[in-house]
DNA sequence: ATCGATTATCTCGAATTCGTACTAATTTTA
DNA sequence: TAAAATTAGTACGAATTCGAGATAATCGAT
């Protein structure tokens, strides 16, 4: 990178970061009502959604993927287990590991709500057309891949 | 929008939303250490940063801009007031309103840390060049403007 | 001018999230 | 192969965030 970037380049970076925050919050807010109507909060939904599309996961992986602390993961999983949407399954090979697995009830719930959720996401993102979205994703991934170097 | 978007278009929307979440979290995480080193958490920093760049703000506006509930705003402002980084100033024209204003100490802190913060943001976003950033911001704003319709 | 709606802020209790520390299991290393 | 380091998950208390409701002030329509 430039050793002493001009003021305006710095400002564009600040603005990008600000816009990224702002846009995501707007989108999240617009989806919140739908998610709440499923009887879940955003974190619970992201866990169930992860298991639904990726299959059973070790608890640790779940926290990594949705970026919450391990103690928070325990808390969410406890709640979902109480709602009988998922269950803990000890891993026989490695007894440190516990898998989270959707119950039939959890899978049925997702079968019922996922199309609605998908449609809601699609609807709120309709400010971009198909090609714009694909290009936007490419740029996001480029940003993410680079930023991963500074974890 | 298309009445019955093909599966792949739905999936691209889901992926966009996922990537947006993921990328922002990566960036936020990489900036967290810097912000903590200033003695502030992310929310406190965003309040102080807002006042620093936009000048005094009614407390209500602060909550709006950084997207937190009004009760959370009261809490953060309390903490910053205890740290003597800002002060509450009752508005004489409208006695419902209370302004938040940086103290000299708050301004001095920002004078000291803002260049460092800006450089950190710029550094982590260096995966895109100047022009790519500007185009990316344009797209973000387009998305945001559209999504605002579904609040 | 007054009553009802709206606005700005705060209080309070509950829900969520985190950080730290701990246990148990596994892997690494010397 | 035994000790040390790492990994997975949980417990627990503290910090943060929220939602609902209260209070006070202002605005708007009559």
> Does residue B88 lie within any of the structural domains?
yes
Domain that holds residue B128: 22-150
Find the CB nearest A125 among B24, B134, B143.
B143
Query: Residue-wise pLDDT tens for chain A (151 aa)?
Result: 555 677 688 899 999 999 999 999 999 999 999 999 999 999 999 999 999 999 999 999 999 999 999 999 999 999 999 999 999 999 999 999 999 999 999 999 999 999 999 999 999 999 999 999 999 999 999 999 999 988 7
| CATH number of the domain encompassing residue B114 | 1.10.10.10
State the DSSP code for B125. Answer: T
> Does residue A111 lie within any of the structural domains?
yes
Task: Give residue-wise pLDDT tens across range B107-123.
Answer: 999 999 999 999 999 99
Confidence of residue B8 (pLDDT cuts 50, 70, 90): confident
Interface test with B, best of A20, A147, A151 (most B CBs within 10 A): A147
3 state DSSP class of B102: strand
> Does residue B106 lie within any of the structural domains?
yes
Query: For chain B, where are the E strands, in sequence order?
Result: 57-58, 86-90, 98-102
> Does residue B14 lie within any of the structural domains?
no
> Does residue B70 lie within any of the structural domains?
yes
Other beta carbons within 10 Å of B33: 11
> Does residue A2 lie within any of the structural domains?
no
Confidence of residue B104 (pLDDT cuts 50, 70, 90): very high
> Does residue A3 lie within any of the structural domains?
no
Verify whether the Cβ–Cβ distance A23 to B67 is below 8 Å.
no
User: What pLDDT, on a 0 to 100 scale, did the predictor assign at position A9?
Assistant: 86
Please choose, from the candidates B54, B142, B44, B27, the residue with its C-alpha nearest in 3D space to the C-alpha of residue A17: B27
How many domains does the structure of chain B reveal? 1
> Does residue A145 lie within any of the structural domains?
yes
Please choose, from the candidates B72, B130, B73, the residue with its C-alpha nearest in 3D space to the C-alpha of residue B100: B73
Q: Is the pLDDT of residue B3 over 60?
A: no
User: What pLDDT, on a 0 to 100 scale, did the predictor assign at position B133?
Assistant: 97
How many helices (H) and strands (E) would you count in chain B?
6, 3
**First vs last Cα of chain B: how many Å apart?**
18
Find the CB nearest A143 among B16, B23, B151.
B23
Q: Is the pLDDT of residue B4 over 80?
A: no
Mean pLDDT over B66-79 rounds to 98
Please choose, from the candidates B58, B143, B117, the residue with its C-alpha nearest in 3D space to the C-alpha of residue A140: B143
């Amino acid at each position: 990178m430039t050793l002493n970037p001009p003021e305006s380049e710095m400002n564009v970076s600040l603005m990008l970061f600000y816009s990224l925050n702002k846009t995501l919050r707007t989108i999240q807010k617009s989806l919140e009502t739908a998610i709440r109507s499923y009887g879940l909060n955003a974190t619970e939904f992201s866990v169930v959604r992860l298991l639904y599309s990726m299959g059973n996961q070790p608890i640790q992986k779940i926290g990594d993927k949705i970026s919450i602390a391990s103690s928070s993961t325990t808390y969410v999983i406890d709640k979902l287990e109480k709602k009988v949407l998922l269950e803990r399954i000890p891993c026989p090979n490695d007894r440190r590991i516990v898998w989270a697995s959707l119950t039939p009830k959890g899978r049925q719930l997702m079968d019922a709500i996922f199309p609605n959720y998908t449609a809601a996401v699609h609807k709120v993102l309709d400010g971009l057309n198909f090609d714009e979205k694909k290009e936007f994703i490419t740029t996001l991934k480029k940003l993410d891949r680079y930023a991963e170097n500074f974890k």
